């Protein structure tokens, strides 16, 4: 089973906000309930994203899994590995509305969720929706804004709504947050609280591209590729919100045996008992792993989850939910290494 992990990535500059949703190419999708047609269309989505982003099939698959499982994604990588372009290209191929917010130290909660504005003509306050009212919200450099503003996303991420003046306003469907974070720059940044990290379904790590992939990036730029013009790059919409909802329902209906559920729990309990771990995986983490494994199994054409599907999703689903003990950090122990060791130690159901 191929793990849907990020691989190499193109080098691109900062991107602008997404335009209005594009019309979907109807010939790509059959009946809403046709799982085979839906899977074929999602495979075509990866092809469309590949027209703008080089050698990043794993990250695209991770984002699609998050959409199928109705979860949020944390994209970690150094500047210039096209995290923003990846999200924009995916939303373009899915014909979903996207808004981008550059998280800065002076960003206020109302700049994200919206705020009450006094209408002098009507003599009353009117709520103006913020950028969170979209299908895919790109939170660029989320760790550069203070905790007060970060917390403005908690209700939106968990409840899919925003509460203003005692009134709850639902967010569009689908809705996910795709947040980017620089792992090496700490000056002027704020550590994400555990409560917020736990609300991200996946954490995908984007690495510097391999030599051949980076040469391909330069080749495309030399030929006139403009990362701000996705339509000019040939990226077209092949799936819409209705078809995505049908795919979400199909993924949620994937079966799971008692043995596999027990295997997920045993893996989680092993993280809590590891001598190098201060805080192990929470029950929310087990449900997140189950939902992600269902999405991956459905994408792979399976009607039920196997242990392979669970193992394929352990790293991206759990790597941000574990806190190491200080002595383990000093020794250079990584969370990914601990999770791999746990998967080798816990008995796999047959």
Task: Tell me the C-alpha to C-alpha distance, in Å, between residue 22 and each of 18, 105, 131.
Answer: 10, 33, 19
- Assess whether pLDDT exceeds 50 at residue 23: no
204: phi then psi, degrees, rounded to nearest 5: -105, 130
Maximum separation of any 2 CA atoms in the chain, in Å = 70
User: What pLDDT sits at residue 27?
Assistant: 35
Helix H or strand E segment including 217: helix 211-222
Model pLDDT for residues 53-104, shown as the tens digit of each residue: 887 778 889 999 999 999 999 998 887 787 888 888 998 888 889 999 999 8
Q: DSSP labels for 305-335?
A: --HHHHHHHHHHHHTTT-EE-HHHHHTT--H
Rounded CA separation 179/72 (Å):
8
Contact 103, 32 (CB under 8 A): no
Rounded CA separation 205/7 (Å):
8
Radius of gyration of the chain (CA): 20
Rounded CA separation 217/227 (Å):
11
* Same-fold call for 26-250 versus 254-345: no
Superfamily per CATH, domain 254-345? Magnesium chelatase subunit I, C-Terminal domain (1.10.8.80)
% pLDDT > 70, the chain = 89
Q: How does residue 9 score in pLDDT terms, banded at 50, 70 and 90?
A: very low
Model pLDDT for residues 264-315, shown as the tens digit of each residue: 999 999 999 999 999 899 999 999 999 999 999 999 999 999 999 999 999 9
Model pLDDT for residues 138-163, shown as the tens digit of each residue: 998 888 888 888 888 888 898 999 98
Average pLDDT, the chain: 84
User: Which CATH number describes the domain made up of 26-250?
Assistant: 3.40.50.300
> For the chain, what are the domain ranges?
26-250, 254-345
- Assess whether pLDDT exceeds 90 at residue 249: yes
Q: Residue with structure tokens 């130290």?
A: 105
User: What pLDDT sits at residue 32?
Assistant: 41
Contact 301, 39 (CB under 8 A): yes
Model pLDDT for residues 179-191, shown as the tens digit of each residue: 998 876 666 678 8
């Amino acid at each position: 089973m191929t793990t849907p992990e990020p691989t190499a990535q193109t080098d691109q500059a900062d991107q602008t906000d997404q335009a209005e949703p594009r019309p979907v190419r109807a010939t790509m999708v059959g009946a809403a309930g046709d799982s085979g047609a839906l899977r074929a269309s999602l495979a075509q989505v990866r092809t469309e994203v590949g027209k703008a982003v080089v050698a990043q099939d794993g990250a695209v698959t991770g984002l699609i899994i998050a959409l199928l499982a109705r979860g949020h994604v944390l994209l970690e990588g150094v500047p210039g590995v096209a995290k923003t372009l990846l999200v924009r290209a995916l939303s373009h191929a899915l014909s979903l509305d996207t808004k981008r917010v550059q998280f800065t130290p002076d960003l206020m909660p109302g700049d994200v969720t919206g705020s009450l504005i006094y209408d002098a003509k009507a003599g009353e306050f009117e709520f103006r929706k913020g950028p969170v009212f979209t299908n895919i919200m790109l939170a660029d450099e989320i760790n550069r804004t203070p905790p007060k503003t970060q917390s403005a996303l908690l209700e939106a991420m968990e409840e899919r709504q925003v509460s203003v003046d005692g009134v709850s306003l639902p967010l569009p469907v689908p809705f996910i947050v795709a947040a980017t974070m620089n792992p090496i720059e700490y000056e002027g940044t704020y550590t994400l609280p555990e409560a917020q990290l736990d609300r991200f379904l996946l954490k995908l790590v984007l690495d510097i591209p391999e030599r051949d992939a980076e040469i391909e990036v330069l080749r495309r730029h030399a030929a006139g590729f403009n990362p701000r013009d996705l339509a000019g790059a040939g990226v077209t919409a092949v799936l819409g919100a209705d078809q995505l909802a049908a795919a979400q329902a199909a993924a949620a209906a994937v079966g799971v045996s008692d043995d596999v559920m027990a295997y997920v729990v045993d893996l989680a309990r092993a993280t809590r008992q590891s001598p190098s771990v201060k805080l192990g995986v929470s029950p929310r983490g087990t449900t997140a792993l189950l939902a992600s494994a269902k999405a991956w199994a459905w994408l792979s054409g399976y009607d039920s989850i196997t242990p392979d599907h669970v193992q394929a999703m352990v790293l991206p689903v759990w790597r941000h939910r574990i806190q190491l003990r200080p002595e383990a950090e000093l020794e250079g122990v990584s969370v990914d290494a601990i999770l791999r060791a746990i998967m080798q130690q816990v008995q796999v159901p047959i």
